Structures are given as C-alpha cells and as structure tokens.
Structure 1
Amino acid sequence: MSSVDTADLVLHSGKIWTGYGNPVAEAISILGNKVLASGSNAGITASVGSDTKVIDLGGRFAMPGLNDAHLHLISTGLLRGKVDATPDAAPTRSALVAALQARAAATPKGEWVTARGFDQTRYPDGLMPTALELDAALPDHPVSVTRACGHVTIVNSLALAQAGIDSATPNPDGGLIGRENGQLTGMLAENAQNLVYDVQPTPPLAQLIDAIEAGGHHLLQFGITSCMDAAVGQVDGMTEIEAYRQAERSGRLPVRVWATLLGDPGSSIVESCHAMGLVTGHGSDMFRIGGVKIFTDGSAGGRTAWMRQPYVGQPDNVGIQMLSDAQLFELVDRYAALGYTLVCHGIGDAAIDQLVRAYELVRAANPKHTSRHRIEHCGYVDDALNQRMLKAGVLPAPQQAFIYDFGDAYVSVLGPQRGLGSYPIGTWDRLGMKPSTGSDSPVCSPNPFPDLYAMLTRKTYKGTVMDASEILTPEQALRAYTENGAYSQSAESVKGRLEPGMLADIAVFSNDLLSAAPEKILRETRCEMTILDGRIVYDRG
C-alpha cells in the first residue's frame, strides 16, 4: 500500500452513521482533514500504517459533527459574566432576586449587575420582574435582567436613569417601553432594550476573543463542530469581525463559524463589511461570511412576535412589527444586490408573510437568483406560507430546542390551536424544505439532546405533546442537525456527511442516536469525543 493510501486516523469497531440514507459503517479512515473511506473493520484497517492513530470506538456511535445552524457564539461566551437567570438556576422571582443580590454584594456600588435567561411563564404566578422589585432589592446598582428569548429586558430605576428614560420618553421605532398608569414598569422590549445596552460597558476586543474561544470549546463538548453566529455586530459592531479574524489567525477559533452580519437600520455592519470585500461566501472553512440578519419581530413567549391574530387575554396585542414593508423591502433588495444571502428573523405569521413577500420580490426581479435565503426561527406558518416559501426557495431555520424549553409557554400565550403547531419541522421535512435546527444559544443551552428529544417526540419539558404529526424519525432528526444545516450555509459539498473527500468533522456519542429511546437520549447521552479537521479537539475520557 502506498503512503498516499495510508490513513492518519482510523476509528473502528463502532456504529458510524455517515449520512442520511447511507448504511451504518463499522470504521472510518481520515487523511489530513478529509474523510478517506468508511466501511467494514477489515476494509478500513487495511489503511493503517506505522504512523496511523487508531481509535477503538468499542461499539460507540459516531456521526458527522453537529451543525448548530443558529446561535450567538460571542454572546454564549460572554454569558460567564452574567447572573444565571434560567429556570434551573432561578425557578422563582425570589430566587432570581437572591442571585442578583449575591452578585451585587460582590460588585462595587454603582457598577452594573446583569442577568440573562428568565422565563416568567415558568414562575408560579407567571409574572415578570418589575423595576419596583429590583429597586427594593438592589438600590445601589443599575440592574438589567434579560429574558431567555433576548427580546425583553427588565431594568431598575438606576438603569432607567442612566439610559435617560423617563415617563415622557417615546417608544423608539420597533421598540416598547413598559408603562402602567403613567409609570415605568422597567420592561423594555425589542429596540427599546438598546437604550440601556448603549450605556452598559462594552467588552473590549480581548474579551470578545476570549468569548469566542470559550463559547467554541463549550460547543465542542456537545459534538458541535459548526455553527452560525446569528448576529455579528450586535455587541460591538465591527470589533466583532476583528475578534473573529484574530481568533482564527491565532488558533483560538475552536469551531467552524458561518457569520451572519447584523443589518438592522442604525446598527448595520453590512456596509463596512462590503467595503472590505466581506460578502456571503468570503472566507475559509473555519470562518466564512454568511448572510445578513434583519429583525422583523420579537418572540412568542415574550408576546412580541408579530402575529396576524392577537395574544390570548390581550386583544389589542399582536406583537411588534419592527419595520414597515417599504423599509424591509428596500433593505432586502439592497443587501441582495450587494451579494448577500438574507437570513432574517421572523417568528410570527405576520412577520413571516412580510419576509416572504420581500424575498418573492427579489426572486421576481432576478429569476436566476440562486441565494438560499432563510427565515430564522420561522415559528408560525400555514399551508399557504409554506407553499410560497417552497416556490421562492426560502429555507426555514427553526430551533427545536424551543419546543422542549418553551412549548408550554407558546400554548399559554397563543392558545392550543396555534401553540401546539409551533415550529412544524415534520411538515417542512415532508415538503423537502430542508429544515435545519439549533439552540439559539444563549436563548437555550447548546446541549443538543433536548433538541433531538423534541424532534423525536414533540414533547416539552413538562411532557406536553406539541402536535405529534410533526415528529421526525431519528435519521431525519440527525439530517436536520448535520446535512440540512450545511445546505442552509451552501456548504453541503464539504460537510454534513462523512463521505470521501468531505471534511473530517466527527462526533462520538455514548448512545446510538438512531436506536436509543428518546428519554435515554435526553437524560443519559454524552458526547464522548469530538474530531474537527481530522484532529481530536475534545475527549471526555
């Protein structure tokens, strides 16, 4: 055997899923950073040479590295500096307040105390925190507590004062300042959050690089080798692009990133990136410029997603429309003409309809247009919207972790008829729309097992079944997490399957994800090893 045929790395004696429709292999060989071959133990171990690293999988399950097709990597890394307000850490408002007070006790007076992750629908009384509550508990620190969805923040009076917000401050475009009986409640929704974010300390470049590295290593522990960073520029504009470039150059970028550029009016980094030649497709297999993100509405759980029909118990509330048709259509047309794929946020059916109309105009103006425009989240659709998306080549980019974490909240704010049909991934799969999946971390944990569990069962953390007709088979679920994510990034020719010549990104798990019971996947499965570019980058053992 020639040295060209000798593998650098061989994994054998496992159950290796190489991609949808392929037979399960026993072994796989890698040369450099590419897959050489897969097949039987006997066929693959023939490529073992004196310098080949050999790993006995001992019957464990291996598959293409997961692709979290929508998360916020920098924000995930920055979470370490915030108080954990998630339901597991703070199941009640009083527990949240106690955690904030503990942080305040270790923070000099006058400095910010920030938290992320609360979900008021999990509290026994279902109520959000208020400025009055935070004032009483933390009188000496400006405080901001961001909801899990990232679309609502509660602040105290010191924070409002620093931001220059009083009872006479008008709602900003695409934002809402909470008021009751003429008094501020401390609630800031959508663009109104920026009034407070703008006066909080901005992390320096070095901290952003640290966050990229920390967030990436966190993903590797779950077998995630690729991700989309869903709004680069949201924390500190072009400094984030520089952070990514320095992280890649210095070997501190642990995972492959498809970088989505923030394109909202007033905070867009698209023009600056375009001037540098950073358009969709530019870059390397580790860091590539993806699409442009525009926000069109908020979140369903926060009652700010833009719906055609009002929320339960709030007949005047259909959510928040961020942009007029004219504004959105102009932005989409301009960014598409500059060479960008559009990957815009739309959750409510009214927002999705607005986005589909914008994409249809781009397609009509140039029928040869080949960009794979996406709708991020894409929570609430009907048959007509799905058919229009299919015709226009628009891809849904949902997060099935939302079903597990927030499904019960959707039913409570939208009612059973709309709520149970949230994020219909089974329908999209049957229509051939190649739905991807992910976590939207730090909205949800990047832990893939609740996401997989939701795809296999449509169950929430409480056990509510969110329309069983949307259940996927194990192979369909794994395809959403790998190949479909790659397709949504126009990268299906290089990753998402373990076939000869494709990137050697591999995740090894403790249980067989094709045959294990969903409960076992959720509660007992661990990532044992992660391989990226043919190198072992995480080993639990």
Structure 2
Amino acid sequence: MNPDLIMHHGTVVTMDRNFRLAEAVAVKDGKIMATGTNDEILHYSTPQTKVIDLEGRTVTPGFIDAHQHMINFGFNLANVNCRKNSIEEVVSAIKERAKASSPDEWIIGWGYDEAGFKEMRNLHKSDFEGIPNPIYIMRYCHHAAAVNDRALELAGITNDTTVNNGMIEKDDSGEVTGVLVEQGKTLVENVMPPYTRDQMKHAVKLANDQYVKEGITSVHEAGLGFFSDAFKEFDVLAEMKEEGTLNVRMYVMVMQDVFEEFLESYSSYEWDHRLKMGSMKFFGDGTLSGKTAAVSQDFKHSPGEKGMLLYTFDELFERAKIAHSQNKQIAVHAIGDRTIQQVLDVYEKLYEDDPKPNLRHRIEHSTVTDKAILARMKKLGAIPVPQPSLVYFAGDVYMENLNEPAVDNVFANKNFIHAGLKPAGSSDCPIIPSSPLLGMAVAMDRTTVKHHVFIPDQRISLREALSMYTVNAAYASFEEDLKGSLEKGKLADMVVLPEGFLGFSADEIKKTEVEMTIIGGEIVYSK
C-alpha cells in the first residue's frame, strides 16, 4: 500500500499497552498504516506521499477531552470575557459591548469569579446602573450568574420570587442583589432570545479552531440541551460535519429531559466516528466552590450545610432506567461524595434489575471520593471523568471549603489508577481553559494558582497523564478500537509536540505549544 503521509525522524509515542516508541509513522486513507523505524516506514514512500521530517519532535495520539461544552465555549469566545481581576474591569468590558449594541440587545458575559476580585465582594445589580441593556454574566462554574435590574424585570423576578433547587440571592433588607444560583438563573435564561443557526455555527467554528490549536482531536460534548435547544445544537453540528467545517470528532451526550425524544427523532441518522451518539446526561448536584455539591460532612465554617442532591434515589433511578434499558450509557454530574454514592446506588440497582454487559456508566467530575467509593466504581465498571486543571484554578477554594478527610480526596487521580479505574481526562471547558497540556501538567504537580501544592500524594506521571487524555478517554466512549493510540488500523489523529516532550517537567509542559494537529491524516492546524 502507498501511504498518503509519512512522518519520520521523531519520537512516535504509540500509547499501546507496552508504551512502545517508534521513529516514524505512515498514514493511509485517514488511518494508521504502520509505525516503526525510519528505514521501515520510509521504505513505503512514493512520489505521491507527503513526507514530513519531524526533526526530532514528538508525536502522540490526538488528545481527547472527555467532558466539555463546545457550543457553550464557542459562544463565550463570541461574548464578553469577564474573567477579570476586579468588578471595575468587568463593568468596563460590559459598557464597551453596550456601546456597540442597541438598548434592547442582551449583553452576555462569562467567566467571572468573585473570589479573585480586588473589591473582595460579588457582583451586584447596582454595578451596572446606567446601562440600559439587559445584562447576564455567567460565573466561571456555570452554576451561578449575575444580572442587572433590566434582566430581573424581563424575567419577572421580584423580592418575593422563590425557586426550587436554586437561589435568588437577597441582601439583609430582603432586596434581590442580581446574583442567581442554579434554577434561579434559569428564570432569566428562559426569557433570553434564542440563538440563530448562523450564530451557533459561528460559535462552534470558533471553539473548533481553538481546540485543534491545542491538539484536541475529539471531544465528548457534555449535554446537548444544557446550553440551548438540543435539536438545534445537533442539527448545526450535523450540518457542519457534512460541510467539512467541523474538524473535531464528537461524542454527544444528551440531557435527560429530551433524551427519549432525541433518540426517536434521530433514529435513522447515520452516526459515525465523526459524530457519535453518546450518553444520557444528568446533573446530580452543584459545585464545591458554591457549597452546593452534596457532601457527607458539613462544609468548613458552615455548620449544617452539606449541599444539595438534585434528585431523590427513586427519581434518578426511574430516569436512568430509560437509558439503561436501551443499552445506552449514563453520565451523571456528581461532585460531592454523597452524590457519587447515590449515583453508584442507582447503577448497582440498574444492573441488578436488568443485567447488561458493562455499559460503562460514567461519573462526571468524581471530585470527592474515598477508597470505598472507588472499590464500588471498579466493581460496577463505572468511569470517573475528572478535570485535573481544576486543581490549579480551584484547589485553594477547595481547601477553604472542605474539612478533612474530604479535602484529601479531591480529584484523586493516583487513587483512581491504583484502584484499577480508567480516569478520562477532561477540562469542563469553558468552566476552565480547554488545554489538555495544562491538565496533564497539573495532574503531575498538583500546584494551585496561589502556588500551593494540593494533595501531593495524588501526583501522577506524564505517561499516566497522557493515558487520561488518550486511551482512557477513548475507552469512556467505547472507541478504544478507533482512537487513543497510534496502532495499525486506528484513526490517524495525532499531535506533534516539541523534541524531548516525554522528559518535560510539569512547568515545561505548561509552557509547551502544540506544533501540529492532524485529524484523519489531514493537517488541520500548524503552528
């Protein structure tokens, strides 16, 4: 066979079971044809073969982000960046956008974190006085938002409005502040105008281009319908796939409230390795930073506060049974250990009542665990999907909010591996930046943004970190025969990194830039 592409004189990290290293790789028809020595691979070359001299650089399998929100991220790139160091800077950015907008146009921002504001307080609706537009700013965690008076008015929120499974924050006098949590923010989201098809395509393209720049060749979309309309989102993705404007391969989860309707509507759709049907997605609790994740012991300095379960056992079981009965994977956002135990109880009963081959039901985030939880996960074949980079961005907050032993078992990647689990690396982008290289580096050094080392005994090696974003993530989507390693017959999804990458320290990896990204044998990004 005549290869379409050969890359030679490098270090090819195959990520096979033996962690075999090669010097060169050949690609034919979008798949790996062979890996081997320079002489072995160059022997296949023909005048029609594209030949790339790696000059010592490193090639790894394409990175897979097992939990992110691509459409949401794309809109964040198009909206106002409020990941600022002060309220003053946030307000200034919103004012700049408002100047270029009509008074009735919604100004949408994202990424604020009140813990980092120099004013040492949260946003307040009064900060935006004088701006006529309705304003909606999503907190970086996506579980809270800040809005102004105009947005509150359009949503019909008054000082007397109440909400289940959420909060409308009020000050000591009972006045609404503009900060909305969980279902509280949904009241405003329900009156915001829907995005157009062209806006959605533009957003996806922005996210796609950023992902390939970071070496991401596949993503698991963590819930169609989470950001907007699941059916519109999917139609846009399917259209872009056919147009060739969507490079990144996608494994799509669908929010549980529309899952059955979605399966029926797209029963005749021809799913493939570019766009594949995935899990039924649930939210089981909130966050640790907002103290809404369901934990088994009180949050630090908050007597009686243990967060919130968003479902009873029976509610979660009955909904999850719909997917399980159809041999579909289930994925539940579960951060607190109390939530994870509930999810495992549900998975256990599903298998008892309706035995199946391992459906690889997932626990998204799997943040607070212990050895007993991990033993149950192993027994049930459950897959933890952590976000290593969150240790960097939120580790200091976790230390402030959690008591021992919970704080010593946050994103316990080493424990996952020792328990025989296959933790799948992810970012939860746009909650935090999407870079898999950053995720690997933080998994290795466990250093926080304030330079603390958070649970050093949970550090893992670069080889283990690479596995999280390649072979493990492929396993989480039943695609280990297609992706995750550079072996004959698998998809030719690859990342080119600098020479000597396998010997890099965590600090060096944080500074590393992807030099080339290849999907299906095609170069989709070159530095």
The answer to whether the superposition gives a TM-score over 0.5 is yes
Question: 1:320: Cα distance to partner?
Answer: 2.5
Task: Give distance in 2, aligned partners of 1:213 and 1:123.
Answer: 31
1:186 corresponding residue in structure 2: 178
What SS does structure 2 have at the residue aligned with 1:385? Answer: helix
What corresponds to 2:135 in structure 1? 143
The answer for the alignment partner of 1:224 in structure 2 is 216
2:95 is matched with 101
- Flag the 1:207–1:440 CA change in 2: closer, same or farther, 3 A: same
Q: 1:175 is matched with which residue?
A: 166
Which residue of structure 2 lines up, in the alignment, with residue 56 of structure 1? 53
Give distance in 1, aligned partners of 2:387 and 2:207. Answer: 18
User: Aligned equivalents of 2:179 and 2:36: distance in 1?
Assistant: 57
Give the 3-state SS of the residue equivalent to 1:514 in structure 2: helix
Aligned-pair CA distance for 1:127: 2.6
Map of 1:447 onto structure 2: 435
Q: Distance in 2 between matches of 1:306 and 1:425?
A: 20
Instruction: Please give the alpha-carbon distance, in whole angstroms, between the structure 2 residues aligned to 1:364 and 1:118.
Output: 44
Instruction: Give the equivalent residue in structure 1 for 2:37.
Output: 40
Tell me the secondary structure at the aligned position of residue 313 of structure 1. Answer: coil
Q: Please state how far the C-alpha of 1:85 moved relative to its aligned partner.
A: 1.4
Classify 1:84/1:415 alpha carbon distance in 2 versus 1 (closer, same or farther; 3 Å).
farther
Establish whether residue 22 from structure 1 lines up as the match of residue 19 from structure 2.
Answer: yes
- How much does 1:415 deviate? 4.3
Aligned equivalent of 1:71: 68
Once residues 148 and 282 of structure 1 are traced to their aligned partners in structure 2, the CA distance between those partners, rounded to angstroms, is: 35
Note if 1:534 corresponds to 2:521. yes
Which is worse superposed, 411-420 or 224-233? 411-420
The structural deviation recorded for 1:312 is 2.2
Whether contact under 8 Å (2:280, 2:328) holds in the other structure is yes
The residue that corresponds to 2:239 in the other structure is 246
Contact 1:282 1:289 in 2 (8 A): no
In the alignment, does 2:396 pair up with 1:408? yes
| Deviation string, structure 1 residues 153-208 (Cα, Å, up to 9, x no partner) | 11112111111111221213x22221233221212111222111111121112222
**Does residue 343 of structure 1 match 2:331?**
yes
Residue range with higher mean Cα deviation, 527-536 or 308-317: 308-317
Instruction: State which of 304, 308, 315 in structure 2 corresponds to 1:320.
Output: 308
Judged with a 3 Å threshold, the aligned counterparts in structure 2 of structure 1 residues 520 and 539 are, in CA distance, closer, same or farther, namely same
Matched residues in 1 for 2:267 and 2:63: separation?
26
**Structure 2 residue 320 is matched with structure 1 residue 332:** yes
- Cα displacement (A) at 1:32: 0.9
Cα distance in structure 1, aligned partners of 2:499 and 2:85 = 30
SS state of the match for residue 359, structure 2? coil
1:10–1:45 Cα contact (<8 Å) kept: yes
146-155 or 482-491: bigger deviation: 146-155
Shift of 1:416: 6.2
- From 115, 122, 125, the equivalent of 1:128 is 122
Are 1:203 and 2:195 matched, yes or no? yes
* 5+ residue gaps, structure 2: none
Give TM-score, length-normalised by structure 1.
Answer: 0.94
Instruction: After superposition, give the CA deviation of every residue in 1:43-77 in whole Å (9 maximum; x if it has no partner).
Output: 11001111110001111111000001110011111
Q: How far, CA to CA, are the matches of 1:270 and 1:164 in structure 2?
A: 30
> For the residues of structure 1 that align with 2:372 and 2:82, how far apart are their CA atoms?
39
Measure how far apart 1:278 and its partner are: 4.5
Quick one: which amino acid aligns to residue 4 of structure 2?
D
Q: Helix, strand or coil for the counterpart of 1:48?
A: coil
Cα offset for 1:80? 2.5
List alignment gaps of at least 5 residues for structure 1: none
Written as runs of structure 1 = structure 2, the 5 A alignment for 1:373-388 is: 373-388=361-376
- How far 1:129 sits from its partner (Å)? 1.0
Work out whether residues 79 and 110 of structure 2, in 8 Å CA contact, stay in contact via their aligned partners in 1. yes
SS in 1 for 2:110: strand
Q: Give the alignment partner of residue 265 of structure 2, picking from 246, 263, 276.
A: 276
Question: Which AA in structure 2 matches 1:233?
Answer: G
> How far did 1:125 drift?
5.3
Q: Find the aligned partners of 2:399 and 2:260 in 1 and give their Cα distance.
A: 40
TM-fit CA distance, 1:370: 2.1
Question: Once the 2 structures are TM-superposed, how far is the Cα of residue 238 of structure 1 from its aligned partner?
Answer: 1.1
SS of match in other structure, 1:477: helix
* Amino acid paired to 2:364: E
Closer, same or farther: CA 511–105 of 1 in aligned 2, 3 Å: farther
Question: How far does residue 417 in structure 1 lie from its aligned partner after superposition?
Answer: 4.6
Following TM superposition, by how much is the alpha carbon of 1:462 offset from its aligned partner in structure 2, in angstroms? 2.1
The residue type paired with residue 49 of structure 1 is: T
CA RMSD in angstroms, aligned pairs only? 1.7
Selected match of 2:353 from 361, 365, 376? 365
Q: Secondary structure at the match of 1:211?
A: helix
TM-fit CA distance, 1:511: 4.8
Q: Which moved more, 1:184-193 or 1:149-158?
A: 184-193
Report the AA paired with residue 179 of structure 1.
Answer: K
Q: Kindly tell me: are residues 126 and 260 of structure 1, through their superposed partners in 2, closer, same or farther at Cα, counting changes over 3 Å? A: farther
1:375-524 pair list within 5 angstroms: 375-415=363-403, 417-523=405-511
Q: Partner of 2:107 in structure 1?
A: 113
Q: Aligned equivalents of 2:371 and 2:119: distance in 1?
A: 36
Identity value in percent: 31
1:539 shift after superposition: 0.9
Per the TM alignment, residue 214 of structure 1 is displaced from its structure 2 partner at its CA by 2.1
1:294 alignment partner, SS class = strand
Partner of 1:97: helix, strand, or coil? helix
1:465-502 C-alpha deviation (Å, 9 max, x unpaired): 11111111111110101000000000001110000011
- Alpha carbons 1:400, 1:423 under 8 Å: kept: yes
CA distance in 2, matches of 1:148, 1:342: 25
Q: TM-score, normalised by structure 2?
A: 0.96
What is the DSSP-based 3-state SS (H/G/I as helix, E as strand, rest coil) of the residue aligned with 2:230?
coil
The letter for the 2-side match of 1:96 is: V
CA drift of 1:102 comes to: 1.9
Give the whole-Å Cα distance in 2 for the aligned partners of 1:298 and 1:38.
Answer: 45
CA deviation string 1:253-272 (max 9, x = no partner): 11000001011xxxx22122
Structure 2 distance, partners of 1:285, 1:508, is 22
CA distance in 1, matches of 2:506, 2:39: 32
Letter of the aligned partner of 1:23 in structure 2? R
Task: Show the counterpart of 1:153.
Answer: 145
**Do the aligned partners of residues 113 and 184 (structure 1) sit closer, same or farther apart at CA in structure 2, a change above 3 Å counting?**
same
Cα separation, partners in 2 of 1:338 and 1:282, compared to 1, 3 Å: farther
Q: Does the CA contact (< 8 Å) of 1:408 and 1:460 recur in 2?
A: yes
CA distance in 1, matches of 2:338, 2:262: 30
Q: In the alignment, is the contact (CA less than 8 A) between 2:56 and 2:499 conserved in 1?
A: no
CA distance in 2, matches of 1:415, 1:110: 46
